[in-house]
Amino acid sequence: MKYALAYAATLLLLIQNTASLAAEPDPYQIFAHARSVWMQQHYPAYVSYIIAVDVDEKGVHKTNHYMALYDSQRNAVHVDAVSAEERQDPHYADGTNMTLEPKRNFHSIYKQHVGNYEEAVDTLGVPLLAPNYSFGIAPYVARTDAPQTDQQLIAQIRQQFNDPMSAQKADALEKSEGLKEIGSVTSTNREYDITYDGIDSIDGHDAYHLLLRPLRGADRLRLRELWVDTQTFTTPQCVTQGNFANTAVPWTVTFAVVDGVQYIASEHAGATLSVGPHHYDDASVSFEQLVPTQPSRYLWNGIPPTKNTLVEPQ
């Protein structure tokens, strides 16, 4: 009798665990849904916005605001390189910076900067940042004059996932079962190992919490955590290891839906950030006042990506 009860208890526990595993959502399907939502976004031809850069350096808070225009057809960003703060209070370089570098037999003994470094005008660099960058969740999709059809969306997702299913088979499945086959995700094309980590509340909405580990190219595949809304499959938040082309610290990124489409709301550094000789205890970038617009006749001159610009890696 005792053994029978133990066997029954073990069987019940096994059934409960199996049911729990069966009920747990597939993290790869959640990620695929989030990617498809990003690919369905239909942005205005042109979006004007303000990029706000905030830093704390040695207890002093500094803010710069830059006017920007995004061309969604060409995925091009136009930014006024002179911030509103610099335009109001122009910067004039003054003082003297010196470096001591004594040598012996033509070899440096040491190298030491003397004096204070000049105050940074553009603390993180001039921000050449698009408001709809997805951090690798989905590829860039050019704006069209009309929303994509189901067939166009399916074709793009299949291409991204390298799905071998033929159009004839997809049509047959749709006719027989009434379901649209978007594509099958195969392990040979996965970029991340994705783990489901429960449901969290983000801004009052339930969101799937996914943990991501890159299977290759960790410097390029920077997503580490992703939250996906359980109802809409939009992405309210993510965590990246590194951000922009010149920073390696983790960043927390929040997104917002404005006029029905997803944009970046803010990006916040999770550790002390060093840019050249400057060290910032706190740093954030925010996207404000996003509105559809028409380009003016004269746009700001293009700025080539240099060490004094803030850009996302391609």
pLDDT tens series, the chain, 314 aa: 544 444 444 545 554 554 444 578 899 999 999 999 999 999 999 999 999 999 999 999 999 999 999 999 889 999 998 999 988 877 666 655 666 677 777 777 767 655 555 566 788 999 999 999 999 999 876 665 455 555 555 555 555 545 455 555 555 544 544 444 444 444 446 889 999 999 999 999 999 999 999 999 888 899 999 999 999 999 999 999 988 866 789 999 999 999 999 999 999 999 998 888 888 999 999 999 999 998 877 666 666 656 688 888 76
Among 198, 235, 190, 236, smallest CA distance to 214 is for 190
User: 302 by DSSP, 3-state: which?
Assistant: coil
Helix axes 150-161, 27-39, angle to 10 degrees: 130
Amino acid type, 185:
V
The matching CATH number, chosen from 3.40.50, 2.50.20, 1.10.20, 1.10.4160, for 44-87+125-133+190-310 is 2.50.20
The span from the CA of 183 to the CA of 39, in Å, is 14
Among 206, 185, 211, 197, smallest CA distance to 24 is for 197
